[in-house]
Amino acid sequence: MSDYQIFSQSIKKKTGIDLTLYKEVQMKRRLTSLRDKKGFSDFNSYYQALVSNKELMEEFLDKMTINVSEFYRNSSRWNILENKILPDLLKKNRKLKIWSAACSTGDEPYTIAMMLSQYVDLDDVSILATDIDDKILERAKKGIYTERALKEVPPKLKEKFFKKDGSLYTIDDKIKSAITFKKHNLLSDPYPSNFDLIVCRNVLIYFTEEAKTTIYEKFSRALVEQGVFFVGSTEQIFNPNKYDFKVVDTFFYQKNI
Strand 162-165 and strand 168-171: the pairing is antiparallel
Of 132, 149, 228, 248, the one binding ligand SAM (CB under 6 A) is 132
Q: How far is the CB of 212 from ligand SAM (least distance, A)?
A: 12
Give the nearer residue to ligand SAM in terms of CB position, either 129 or 223. Answer: 129
Q: How far is the CB of 205 from ligand SAM (least distance, A)?
A: 9
Sequence length of the chain is 257
Site for ligand SAM in 170-199 (CB under 6 A): 185-187
Burial 172-202 (b: 16+ CB within 10 A, else e): beebbebbebeebebbeeebeeebbbbbbbb
Site for ligand SAM in 154-173 (CB under 6 A): none
Give the nearer residue to ligand SAM in terms of CB position, either 61 or 125. Answer: 61
Q: How far is the CB of 161 from ligand SAM (least distance, A)?
A: 18
Of 111, 117, 202, 254, the one binding ligand SAM (CB under 6 A) is 202
What is the spatial distance between Cα 111 and Cα 98, in angstroms, rounded to a whole number?
12
Of 6-14, 43-51, 62-70, 216-224, the segment contacting ligand SAM by CB under 6 A is 62-70
Three-class DSSP labels, 192-209? CCCEEEEEECCCHHHECH
Give the nearer residue to ligand SAM in terms of CB position, either 17 or 223. Answer: 17
CA distances from 143 to 57, 95, 175 (A): 24, 24, 10
Does 203 help bind ligand SAM (rule: CB under 6 A)? yes
Q: How many residues bind ligand SAM (CB under 6 A)?
A: 22
Binding mask 17-56 for ligand SAM (x = CB under 6 A): ----------------------------------------
Q: Name the site residues for ligand SAM (rule: CB under 6 A).
A: 65-69, 73, 102-104, 107-108, 131-133, 136, 185-187, 201-203, 232
